[in-house]
């Protein structure tokens, strides 16, 4: 069995400003079923927003959902979601100093930080909006206030559609990369047999972690330069940059995911 793991917004979902292929989502749904691929969505979305994406865009249900930027794992079967029983314990054990409430307190009142609604936060995720043009000043205050005190990772990304800067504080042991590694190991699958597709900053770690990576054609500049830096350090990394032209698709969003899956042989004619 091989895993096709993909980010949702602006990777599998055509919700950015680039042109999308109308037939790409039905093609994705058919190809993943026809080739019996184990499908994982890896997203910053919570469960409710993931369900909304499935309904709004017509993407199939995945076999597993790594949600909330890697801080939750659920599996889908018999039409219900089941939380992965081992993941929360694994995170708590491997990031023992993590304390979401303490981080929230340490960052309360920082000028330029706006806390996201509670449904976007969780026991392993404390999230904020940041004015993108002011990010250097704000991020330096954040680093001074919390860095290396809570076994935390500080992840900044830019939502090119809304124009929002997004700041996530997460346990260092829980992110898109580690959650996908955990899932692959649980299914006895080598990391190289996991194809991961992404488009933006919080996809950098899984794209440079030993999986077979795919950047959709609309991948943002921050991600492309991060991946290129990683390739300079480790030319053995497997990363594919979707270009378009595969099966008549343009390489943006879903088309780039399909192109990457063909590139690595998950799909074949
Ligand atoms: Mg994305």
In 23-122, which residue ranges form alpha helices assigned H by DSSP?
24-34, 47-57, 87-94, 100-107
**CA 41–ligand 1 middle distance (angstroms):** 11
**CA 48–ligand 1 middle distance (angstroms):** 17
* Per-residue pLDDT reduced to its tens digit, 98-124: 999 999 999 999 999 999 999 889 899
Question: How big is the chain, counted in residues?
Answer: 269
Domain boundaries, the chain: 3-89+174-263, 96-171
* Per-residue pLDDT reduced to its tens digit, 40-88: 999 989 999 999 999 999 999 999 999 998 999 999 999 999 999 899 9
**pLDDT reported for residue 162:** 87
**pLDDT reported for residue 69:** 87
**CA 110–ligand 1 middle distance (angstroms):** 27
Mark the residues whose beta carbon lies below 5 A from ion ligand 1. 7, 9-11, 199-200
How confident is residue 141, by pLDDT bands cut at 50, 70 and 90? very high
**pLDDT reported for residue 76:** 98
* Per-residue pLDDT reduced to its tens digit, 226-240: 999 999 999 999 999
**CA 88–ligand 1 middle distance (angstroms):** 24
**pLDDT reported for residue 109:** 93
**CA 45–ligand 1 middle distance (angstroms):** 10
**CA 198–ligand 1 middle distance (angstroms):** 6
- Report whether 217 contacts 256 (CB < 8 A): yes
What is the arithmetic mean of pLDDT over 143-147? 96
Half-sphere exposure of 7 (CA within 13 A, CB side): 29
How high is the mean pLDDT of the chain?
Answer: 95
Q: String of b and e for 22-32 (b: at least 16 CB within 10 Å)?
A: eebbebbbebb
Q: How far is CA 102 from the centre of its chain?
A: 25
This model's pTM is above 0.85: yes
How confident is residue 220, by pLDDT bands cut at 50, 70 and 90? very high
Q: Name 13's bridge partners.
A: 9
Q: Which CATH number fits domain 96-171: 3.10.180.10, 3.40.190.10, 3.90.1070.10, 2.160.10.10?
A: 3.90.1070.10
What is the arithmetic mean of pLDDT over 1-9? 95
CATH 3.40.50.1000 fits 3-89+174-263, yes or no: yes
The DSSP call for residue 1 is: -
Q: Encoding tokens for residue 11?
A: 């990777």
**CA 7–ligand 1 middle distance (angstroms):** 6
How far is 239 from 212, CA to CA, in rounded Å? 6
**CA 9–ligand 1 middle distance (angstroms):** 4
**pLDDT reported for residue 7:** 98
**CA 199–ligand 1 middle distance (angstroms):** 5
SS3 131: coil
**CA 63–ligand 1 middle distance (angstroms):** 19
**CA 16–ligand 1 middle distance (angstroms):** 10
**pLDDT reported for residue 160:** 77
**CA 188–ligand 1 middle distance (angstroms):** 27
Q: How many CB atoms lie within 10 A of CB 261?
A: 26
pLDDT exceeds cutoff 90 at 266: yes
**CA 262–ligand 1 middle distance (angstroms):** 20
**CA 230–ligand 1 middle distance (angstroms):** 19
* Per-residue pLDDT reduced to its tens digit, 150-209: 999 998 888 877 899 999 999 999 989 999 999 999 999 999 999 999 999 889 999 999
């Amino acid at each position: 069995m091989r895993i096709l793991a993909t980010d949702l917004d602006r990777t599998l979902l055509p919700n950015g400003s680039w042109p999308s292929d109308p037939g790409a989502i039905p093609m994705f749904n058919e190809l993943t079923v026809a080739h019996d691929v184990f499908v994982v969505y890896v997203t910053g979305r919570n469960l409710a927003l993931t369900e909304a994406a499935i309904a709004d865009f017509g993407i199939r249900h995945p076999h597993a959902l790594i949600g909330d930027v890697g801080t939750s794992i659920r599996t889908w079967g018999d039409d219900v979601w089941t939380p992965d029983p081992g993941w929360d314990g694994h995170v708590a054990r491997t990031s023992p100093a993590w304390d979401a409430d303490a981080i929230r307190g340490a960052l309360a009142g920082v000028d330029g930080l706006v806390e996201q609604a509670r449904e976007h936060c969780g026991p392993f995720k404390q999230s904020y909006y940041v004015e993108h043009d002011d990010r250097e000043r704000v991020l330096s205050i954040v680093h001074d206030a919390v860095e290396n005190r809570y076994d935390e990772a500080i992840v900044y990304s830019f939502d090119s559609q809304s124009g929002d800067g997004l700041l996530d504080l997460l346990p260092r042991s829980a992110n898109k990369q580690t959650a996908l590694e955990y899932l692959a190991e649980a299914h006895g699958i080598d990391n190289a047999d996991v194809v991961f597709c992404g488009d933006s900053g919080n996809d950098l770690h899984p794209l440079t972690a030993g999986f077979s990576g795919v950047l959709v054609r609309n991948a943002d500049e921050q991600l492309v330069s991060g991946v290129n830096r990683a390739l300079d350090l480790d030319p053995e990394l497997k990363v594919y940059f979707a270009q378009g032209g595969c099966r008549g698709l343009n390489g943006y969003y879903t088309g780039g995911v399909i192109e990457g899956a063909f590139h690595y042989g998950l799909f074949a004619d």
